[in-house]
Amino acid sequence: MAKKSREILWEVGCEGHTDAWVVAENWELATVEAAAFWDVPWAKVAARCVCKQRIPGAPRNVCCRCGRVYYGPAPMCGACRETVRTEEYLLQQARRRGYRTGKLA
Ligand SMILES: [Zn+2]
């Protein structure tokens, strides 16, 4: 038997970033994981993170994004992992362009 897990699946939102899906024991750790996904210092985003979903005991091997059964690390399948990384990358590119042209304050 696998060790009993207290892990919770979180959907973490933050202004200027795509939503991050992370598995963590508590909210603080979830924001740490989310900051790692966004590749930003935790201190910069911690206060702006919002909890969009909290799913205790989420089934393993079921992708949180597309709902397919898969094998690999939680919480999403490889294809979705790639997709969200690309979404985040494109969003950051767009924001950088925005800053340069002065459209975003
Ligand atoms: Zn998926």
**Secondary structure (3-state) at 93:** helix
Q: Please give the distance, rounded to the nearest whole angstrom, from the Cα atom of residue 34 to the centre of ligand 1.
A: 18
Gap from CA of 64 to ligand 1 centroid (Å): 7
DSSP string, 10-41: EEEEETTEEEEEEEESSHHHHHHHHHHHHTS-
pLDDT in tens, the chain (105 residues): 455 557 899 999 999 999 999 999 999 999 999 999 999 999 999 999 999 999 998 888 999 999 999 999 889 999 999 999 999 999 999 999 987 776 655
Distance 38 CA to ligand 1 centre (A): 19
1 within domain boundaries = no
Is residue 3, in this structure, part of any structural domain at all?
A: no
Q: 91 CA to middle of ligand 1, Å?
A: 20
Total structural domains in the chain? 1
Give CA–CA dist 40/102, Å, rounded.
22
Residue 105 belongs to some domain of the structure: no
pTM of the model: 0.85
Q: Is residue 80 part of a domain?
A: yes
Q: Is residue 85 part of a domain?
A: yes
- Domain interval for residue 82: 8-100
Residue 69 lies in a domain: yes
Exposed/middle/buried for residue 38 (C-beta within 10 Å: 0-12, 13-18, 19+): buried
